[in-house]
Each structure stands twice: as structure tokens, then as C-alpha cells.
Chain A
Amino acid sequence: MNVVVCIKQVPAKIKIEIDPKTGTLRSGGVDRAINPPDLYALEEGIRIKEKTKGKVTVLTMGPAKADESLKEAIGFGADEVILLSDPAFEGSDTWSTSHILAKAIKKIGQFDLVLCGKQSIDGETGQVGPQLAEALGVPFVSLVNRIEELGEGFIKVMRMSDEGHQLIEMTLPGVITVVKEINVPRIPSLRGLMAAKKAKIPVWNAQDLEIDPATVGSAGSPTRVAKVFFPQRTQKSEMLQGSPESQVEQIVERLRQARAI
């Protein structure tokens, strides 16, 4: 089975700062890592490859330095990696990102299953997986917590739903997003780390993907970030003192006043 895993490189720490002069995000000099939820997609992709004697290709869209995350993916066991990078891709919203990923997957050609993490820890939209499926014209299942069966041209998965879980059969090729419960990611092997060290990371740009730069990135994205700001904390923190009985009385009183209970 040919598996494609899409990963994102994100800030290793989610505490971010806004430059008070420009009002924009300070992202320079921040340590970056593979988006934690994507590690479960990567692990599941590698497990499927091992089971079916297939191949795992890992894609990421990002700046040149995102190649570090692809090297890390090789360490885990990815067979091939591709960095999708072009100044025209900068400022992509989820629509633009999923179209760029779809173009790359079409260029790769034959694939059976695409795996993505549930959402990124920076943007937190959870939209790229489903949008990628639609852009590829293939079916989609979100929040998969177990793969029950890998069949000829289909897959059976358990997904988290509003009422609990649903068992769903999906024809292949298709796209799924996975949650943490699906597996426990391995530690990179020594052999993998050696391979990662030597690896040359192929880069595909807009021209390679036959993408008109005006249709993607900040120029082509349907949505635009008009402003970013820190949330205002309207209430001050209050520490309740006294005996446990008195603390409990105070908290009940406060919550009643706020009509929270």
C-alpha cells in the first residue's frame, strides 16, 4: 500500500510573542518541531507500510528550514520525503495549503491512503485534512482512533463521533485524520538517524507543481488574517483563603453570583 503522510513544522513551544512595534508574530529564532498530532499519522503510516510491504512518502509545505522535520521523518522510517517550498506559498490559508498538498500528491501519482494529524497546534483549524480530500476528489474520515481492516480497495476504521465511536468503511484511495489514541509512536532507529543525516531533501516549488503563484499563498487565499492580538483577560485571578469549609462556601457564592451554577 502506498501511503502519504502530511506533516507540519510548528513552533516547539506554543507560547508566542507579538512584536509591539509591528503588531505581527515574532517567529524568528524559535525552536521548531514536527506538529505533535502528526507524529501519530506518521507512525500509523509506517505501520501500514510494514504490514503491507508498501511505501511511505512524507510531505510538508513550509520554508526551507522545514527540511529538518522531513529529516526527522526519515529517522522514524519514511521512505521518501518532499518539501513543498516557494515564496509564493507564504501566507497560505487552509484552502491554499490543501490545494498545494493535493497538487503534490497528484504529481506523486499512485497513492492508496493519505494520513494527517487531527490538527496543528499553532493554527488549530483541523481543516487541511478534509479540504485535501475534497481537493483530491477522494473520501474522508476524521478522528480515526483505530484501523480495523486494510482491504483490497477499502479500509475499515473506528472514528470518534459525537455519541462515542463509529465503525466506517471507506473506499480507497482516501484521506483520514488520526488521533493520539491510535498508537504509541516509536523512537527513531539508529539506522534511520544515519539515513536522515545523509539525506538530501527534494524540494518542489510552484513551477514544479504547475501552480500559478497568484492562486496560492497570501495572494490566492480566500481568507486573510486582518489582525492578531492577545486575548484580554476580563477577570482577575482571585485566590480563596481560609479553611476548606470557608473556601468551599466562598467558591459556591462566587459561582452563584456569576450565574455559572
Chain B
Amino acid sequence: MSADSSAIGQIWVVTEQRDGHTKAASYALIAKSRKLADECRSKVVAVCLNQSVKDADQLAAFGADKVYLVGGPILDGWNDDVYVKELADLARRDKPDVILASSGSLGSSVIPRVAVALDTGVAANCISVEFDSQSRMLVQTRPAYGGSLMANIVFPSKRPQIATVRPHAFKKGEPNSSRQGEMIRVDFDRQSVTAKTKLLNVVKDLTEKVRLDEAEIVVCGGRGLGRAENFQMVAELAEVLGAALGTSRPPVDDGWVPYSHQVGQTGKTVSPKLYIACGVAGAPQHLAGMQTSEIIVAINEDPKAPIFEVATYGIVGDLFKIVPLLTKKLREARG
């Protein structure tokens, strides 16, 4: 597929649901797409990869002109092979100009495969997507080299322009309940795909109450906590803030905290609105996973700790005094 110079086609948002409810990141993508579509006189299509979406009308309220409910029982669950086939088939039929999805699960497996199936590229893990009225192309901005460099990515000729976007890159926006969208059920023929992968079992992570890569606030405990038991202190701060609990590499390597909590080069990349680093020195490998956070608070007894170089607010002091005081103050404020 190649670019049509006269018009901008549909903007698709591949949405994600949990227990039937659309994730905040998907709503934010729809709100952003609405703005882009208004700029370039295009339409927003929300694609749901299951039919048991409980808040489909909300997708229209946030800005979708059309909602595709793609389904059949096989899609309600995990099946990348089917998602890839169905998205690629639909995109071949409708020829959208843009496909946006968030950079989590979908963005790390389904979207890149769809791109290859459609013979186009992906701008991965973007923090901004803007419409350039001169070239009539999208300009995607994405961090690289651990957030120390930004790159603008464009698609000179291939369509659709596919981008995955990090959580919190866009604001969720306000729903307008008078907005109506067209609801279209797309029934999927389950016979047409031989799935080569099969989900056998799901193990829920009980240590992760708030999802690290989706959280608006992350409280991170580092080596400065000294031992595993002391993580309770940062867990309490996380709890009072409704935050996810993160950590740096050393506590994972020492077995204090499960690997799923690790932030950094060999762990997860996060960019929450607020990141509170407690006793984290700030090795380059850790900074690579969090330095695009909006506000960074660093608490460390060593004034020379590199974490202070990226901190918005720094507190040099005793972690074991400051963190409990902070938890107490916030708890009192909550009543």
C-alpha cells in the first residue's frame, strides 16, 4: 500500500480491555486520535479484539466515529495468531492510513507482526504523534538510548503508518456523552486460522497490585534499603499513593524482589507521571528505564548519587526517616 497524496484515511486505534473494560491508555489514544482526525479531516475507528466490551459506547464518547467489535469466542482470551490475522485482514479491506496501539502486550507482539503482514513499518514506543500538515504525514517521536536521545520517525511512502505509544504519553481527555459512534460487529471465522500457539495456564502475580508499566505513580526501592524486609516500608508508601512498586537491579539479583518489578535496561521501561526513587543510586542502566518520567523524586543519603542528576526534586537524607514520614503525612492527608 502506498500513500495517497490527496487525503488522509482512517485513524485506527487498537484498544485493549481487561475484564471487559477498556484500559485508560486506549481511551487516551482515542482522545488523541480525535484531535489528529479533526486536524486532517479524518475518521477515528476503535478496534476491539473481543465482543464482550462493556464500555463500547464510551469509546464513541471519547471520540471514535466507528467501533469495530471483532469477535467470536476464540478472540476472548489470548491468541496472538488470531489477532494478527484478523487485524491484518481488516486493515487490507479498509486501508487505514494510521494504526495506533499502546506499547504493552499488543505493541510487543501483535502490532509488529501485523506491520510485516501489511508490508509496512512500526514506530515503536513513541511518546508523541503529531500531524504535519505540509507533508500530510504523521511525525512520531520516540526515545532511544535509554531516553538520552529522541528521534522523529516518518513513513515517507508506506501505509498504514503504524505506531505504538507508551502509556501516559497522552491525556485521557473528557468523554462527551452526546457523541455517538457506529457500532459494527465483525464476526471472525475461527476455521480460517490454525493457531500455532496455545495458552495452557495463567499465573496471576500477587506481588504486583498495580501494573508497573501502566501506573501513574511508581515508587521504587533500591539497594539502599539494605535488605528484603525493608521493602515493606516502600510498599506502604506505594500503597498510600496507589502506586506500583518498582525496584532496580541489585534487589532482584539478591532475590529480595521478583524480576517483574525491575525497572531499567534489562527490566521494564516506565514513564509515569511521578517516579519516587528511594535508595536508588541511579546506574545508567536504571536511568535508561525511567528517566522519561514526568516528575522524578529522589531520596538518597549520598548527595553524589547519579539519580539526583535526573531528579526533579532531590532529598539528601536518611531514607528510613524520610520514607515513613512521607507515608504518614500522605496517609493523614487522605484521612
Query: Using Cβ atoms and an 8 Å threshold, which residues of chain A touch B325?
Result: 244-245, 248
**How far apart are the CA atoms of A143 and B80 in the complex, in Å?**
14
- Residues A95 and B115 in contact, CB atoms below 8 Å apart: yes
Query: Using Cβ atoms and an 8 Å threshold, which residues of chain A touch B153?
Result: 223-226
Query: Using Cβ atoms and an 8 Å threshold, which residues of chain A touch B211?
Result: 162
Shortest distance between the CB of A241 and any CB in chain B (Å): 9
Shortest distance between the CB of A209 and any CB in chain B (Å): 17
- Residues A261 and B217 in contact, CB atoms below 8 Å apart: yes
Q: Does A249 belong to the interface (CB within 8 Å)?
A: yes
State which of B109, B125, B157, B317 has its C-beta within 8 Å of the C-beta of A244. B317
Query: Using Cβ atoms and an 8 Å threshold, which residues of chain B touch A14?
Result: 145-146, 148, 265, 284, 288
- Residues B143 and A244 in contact, CB atoms below 8 Å apart: no
- Residues B158 and A222 in contact, CB atoms below 8 Å apart: yes
Query: Using Cβ atoms and an 8 Å threshold, which residues of chain A touch B269?
Result: 124
Question: Which residues 145-185 of B sit at the A interface, judged by CB distance below 8 A?
Answer: 145-158
B residues lining the A interface (CB < 8 Å): 18, 78, 80-81, 84, 104-105, 108-110, 112-113, 115-117, 119-125, 139, 143-158, 196-206, 208, 211, 217, 241, 259-260, 262, 265-267, 269, 273-274, 284, 288, 292, 294-295, 297, 308-309, 311-318, 321-322, 325-326, 329-330, 333
Task: Show 29 residue pairs from A and B whose CB-CB distance is below 8 angstroms, ordered by the A residue.
Answer: A14-B145, A14-B288, A18-B149, A121-B265, A121-B288, A124-B124, A124-B146, A124-B269, A127-B115, A130-B109, A131-B112, A138-B196, A162-B105, A163-B204, A164-B208, A165-B202, A166-B203, A171-B196, A223-B155, A228-B151, A229-B152, A231-B147, A238-B312, A239-B314, A239-B315, A240-B313, A244-B325, A254-B313, A258-B295
A residues lining the B interface (CB < 8 Å): 11, 13-16, 18, 25, 36-37, 93-95, 98, 118, 121-127, 130-131, 133-135, 138-143, 145, 156, 158, 160-171, 174, 179-181, 221-231, 235, 237-240, 244-245, 247-249, 251-252, 254-255, 258, 260-261
